[in-house]
């Protein structure tokens, strides 16, 4: 079926979906029923690892009831006020990151386009973009040059926050609740696929990349951002210095002592990321250190801006750049699905 301009299908059997009622989709083949919440289809085949279906539905019901009462910032505050498992210091860290998300996404898009376009930003007009793990949808706001675009995430509760962000930005972009490992799309649908700070959270990274590759057109581009497994800086998900470098059991113990829930993730080094993308069948893979744009820097306090300036300076020096690739905070990667004409076509 055509859902808000994007062709979707059953994530289990790939048969046609029908909409017999306002808030439900039904698969014509396997007869599986998929509910809809505030216009967001719930097409998951497995629950979010952090929360079961019933517990999330209870939280979603609260968010739906108060959806029209807040702007984005207020809705984020309401979300964390009803999430007792997130301690206040973590909620403040996450909120700051969420509010800076659009500026960060604009910087990342520029960097990916430069890395993929032989030193120039690519022409992306009339290009369909899929974001897997879109969270609260900052990249969907930032990617205004990509039309159409669609966001997928396993967390229905976060998609409601994303819907609020899109509403506040005056955008009507389809959001789908689905598993990265079972995407509800036909083959060869998208020109670009993005996983921004999401790959590390996928339950099965190989299967998720297989699904993204399947949904991409021949010659389509892949954009990835993910924390570096060996970063010595603050962990972006916990705020713990060298939290990515520490054994996961140590990081988990520290987070539990702070009253929080340890992240469920598989972090990758630069080499591991490159191998994973290659094994998935992507070509033209480039793993690199992203720049930090002026718009991104403006959201940080002065000490962090000073550290970013040092990072950018070090990134320009070959020896230090290699060290940063090993121990820097974040990795970017670009790749491409094999184009018609084979490998030679990727070099044009």
Q: In the chain, where are the structural domains located?
A: 88-346
Tell which residue, 229, 227, 169, has the closest CA to residue 196.
227
Give the per-residue pLDDT at 348.
41
Structure tokens at 322: 């290699």
CATH fold for the domain made of 88-346 = Rossmann fold (3.40.50)
Residue ranges, the chain, pLDDT below 50: 343-348
Give the per-residue pLDDT at 89.
87
Give the per-residue pLDDT at 345.
47
Give the per-residue pLDDT at 213.
98
| Percent of the chain clearing pLDDT 70 (strictly above) | 96
**Tens of pLDDT along 312-325?**
888 888 888 888 88
Give the per-residue pLDDT at 119.
60
């Amino acid at each position: 079926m055509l859902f808000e301009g994007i062709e979707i299908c059953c994530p289990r059997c790939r048969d046609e979906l029908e909409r017999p009622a306002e808030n439900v989709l039904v698969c014509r083949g396997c007869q599986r029923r998929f509910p809809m919440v505030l216009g967001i289809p719930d097409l998951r085949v497995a629950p979010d690892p952090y929360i079961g279906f019933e517990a999330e539905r209870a939280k979603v019901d609260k968010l739906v009831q108060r959806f029209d009462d807040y702007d984005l910032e207020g809705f984020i505050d309401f979300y964390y006020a009803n999430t007792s498992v997130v301690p206040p210091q973590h909620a403040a860290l996450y909120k700051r990151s969420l509010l800076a998300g659009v500026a960060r996404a604009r910087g990342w898009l520029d960097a990916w386009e430069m890395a993929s376009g032989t030193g120039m930003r690519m022409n992306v007009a009339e290009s369909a973009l899929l974001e897997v793990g879109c969270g609260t949808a900052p990249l969907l706001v930032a990617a205004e040059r990509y039309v159409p675009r669609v966001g997928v995430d396993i967390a229905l509760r976060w998609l409601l926050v994303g819907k609020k962000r899109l509403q506040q930005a005056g955008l009507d972009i389809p959001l789908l609740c689905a598993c990265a490992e079972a995407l509800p799309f036909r083959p060869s649908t998208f020109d670009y696929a993005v996983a921004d700070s999401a790959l590390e959270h996928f339950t099965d990274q190989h299967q998720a990349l297989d699904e993204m590759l399947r949904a991409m057109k021949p010659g389509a581009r892949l954009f990835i951002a993910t924390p570096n497994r060996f970063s010595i800086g603050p962990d972006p998900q916990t705020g713990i210095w060298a939290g990515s470098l520490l054994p996961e059991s140590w990081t988990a113990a520290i987070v539990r002592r702070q009253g929080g829930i340890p992240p469920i993730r598989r972090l990758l080094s630069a080499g591991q990321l490159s191998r994973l993308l290659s094994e998935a069948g992507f070509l033209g893979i480039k793993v690199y250190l992203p720049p930090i744009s002026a718009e991104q820097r403006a959201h940080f306090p002065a000490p962090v801006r000073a550290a970013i300036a040092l990072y950018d300076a070090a990134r320009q020096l070959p020896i230090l750049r290699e060290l940063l690739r090993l121990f820097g905070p974040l990795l970017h990667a670009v790749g491409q699905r094999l184009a018609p004409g084979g490998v030679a076509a990727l070099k044009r």
